[in-house]
Chains A and B, each alone.
Chain A
Amino acid sequence: MSFITRGFSGRGHERDERLPPGQTLAHDFPVLSAGPTPEIDTAEWEFSIATETGGVHSWNWEQFMALPIEEVDTDIHCVTHWSKLGTSWRGVSLDTLFEDVETQYEYVMAHSYGGYTTNLALDDLLDGKAWIAFEFDGEPLDPEHGGPARLLVPHLYFWKSAKWVRGLVMMGEDEPGFWEQNGYHLHGDPWKEERYW
């Protein structure tokens, strides 16, 4: 049972060829959260990459900001059917962060402050495809949007761009993260509409 409600049009919907299937344009920046917003002081912030040998590469905020910083202009696509075109970010490329990391493993679990996790293939993080971003539209990233720093993997649905990221752990096998255990796709390519398992 479902019928059209007289006089109700909802928010306007626009189409654009830069939009993957099933997406509509968003002009604001909707917030998706699975819990309370962690407040992380950059003085306490740390980011690390852990490998199968027990090796851990880590950066505090000062060391992180001394790395080469890139400007990223990109479209982002949320699994909840909104896309935002031409967003601008600043961050550190995962290529830079993985420069000295030795690993045979092909999968990564991203861990966030607050306990959120999401899984990714290492291939989806390297070769200019992913960043740890700390600035959005010329401003420091709001805690609400993942600040002080979040993963940015714009070619995958945006739940993969883990907010409040604090580390990556290499995995031998692809294992599901938080949303992936609860209905969402392991990979999440918006052009293939990989929304759910």
Chain B
Amino acid sequence: MQHVDGNAIAGPLAEFFAFDVTTAVARCNGCGSVAELARAMVYTSPAGSVLRCASCEQVLATLVESDDRAWIGFSGVSAIEVRRR
């Protein structure tokens, strides 16, 4: 299965956050590398989207959407850095 870039889930995430979460920087809990979520690898299927670290492939975040709800998980990162300016 082919992955795309984190940038690709900017749209679904913009439904729930007041800023573009894909521009946030996070440290991968698996390998310690630090990068914008837009640089992560996205595996998207109708079941949901899985964001994986571009360096070690560990799961960073997940997005599952139903008609009336969404589940946004950040199982592989402890914090996201959001730039004020």
Contact yes or no, A35 B48, CB < 8 A? no
With A and B bound together, what is the CA distance between A186 and B26 in angstroms?
29
Number of interface residues, chain A, beta carbon within 8 A? 23
Contact B45–A195 (Cβ < 8 Å):
no
Please report the number of residue pairs spanning A and B whose Cβ atoms sit closer than 8 angstroms.
Answer: 64
Q: Which of chain B's residues have a CB closer than 8 A to the CB of A37?
A: 1
Candidates B45, B66, B70, B71; contact of A34 at CB < 8 Å? B45
Q: Are B52 and A182 in contact (CB under 8 A)?
A: no
Binds B, one of A25-33, A46-54, A167-175: A25-33
Which residue from chain B places its CB closest to the CB of A144 in the assembled complex?
Answer: B1
A21 within 8 A of B: no
**In the complex, B75 has a CB within 8 A of chain A:** yes
- CB of A8, distance to nearest CB on chain B (Å): 19
Contact A80 B47 (CB under 8 A): yes
Please name all residues of chain A whose beta carbon is closer than 8 Å to the beta carbon of B48 when the two chains form the complex: 34, 179, 182-183
Give the Cβ gap from A1 to chain B, nearest Cβ, in Å. Answer: 13
Q: Which residues of B contact A115 (CB under 8 A)?
A: 59
**What separation, in Å, do the CA atoms of A32 and B50 have in the docked complex?**
11
Contact call A196/B69, Cβ cutoff below 8 A: yes
Q: Which residues of B approach A to under 8 Å, CB–CB?
A: 1, 3, 43, 45-48, 50, 52, 57, 59, 62, 64, 66, 69-71, 73, 75
Given A36-B57, A183-B62, 4 extra CB contacts under 8 A: A35-B57, A78-B47, A178-B59, A182-B62
Question: Are A182 and B45 neighbours in the complex by a CB distance under 8 Å?
Answer: no
Given known A144-B1, A182-B48, A182-B62, contact A33–B43 (CB-CB < 8 A): yes
Contact A35 B62 (CB under 8 A): no
Mask, A179-195, CB within 8 Å of B = 1, is 10111100000000001
Query: Quick check: A179 and B47 within 8 Å, CB to CB?
Result: yes
Q: Is A76 an interface residue (CB 8 A)?
A: no
Compute how far the CA of A134 lies from the CA of B36 in the bound complex, rounded to whole angstroms.
Answer: 40
Query: Is A152 at the interface (CB under 8 A from chain B)?
Result: no
Q: For residue B46, which residue of chain A has the nearest CB? A: A80
Inter-subunit contact B43/A34 (CB<8 Å): yes
CB neighbours (8 Å) of B69 from chain A are 183, 196
Q: Which residue of A32, A178, A184 contacts B46 across the interface (Cβ within 8 Å)?
A: A32
A34 touching B50, Cβ below 8 Å: yes
Q: How far is the CB of B47 from chain A (nearest CB, A)?
A: 5
> Cβ of B57: which chain A residues have Cβ within 8 Å of it?
35-36
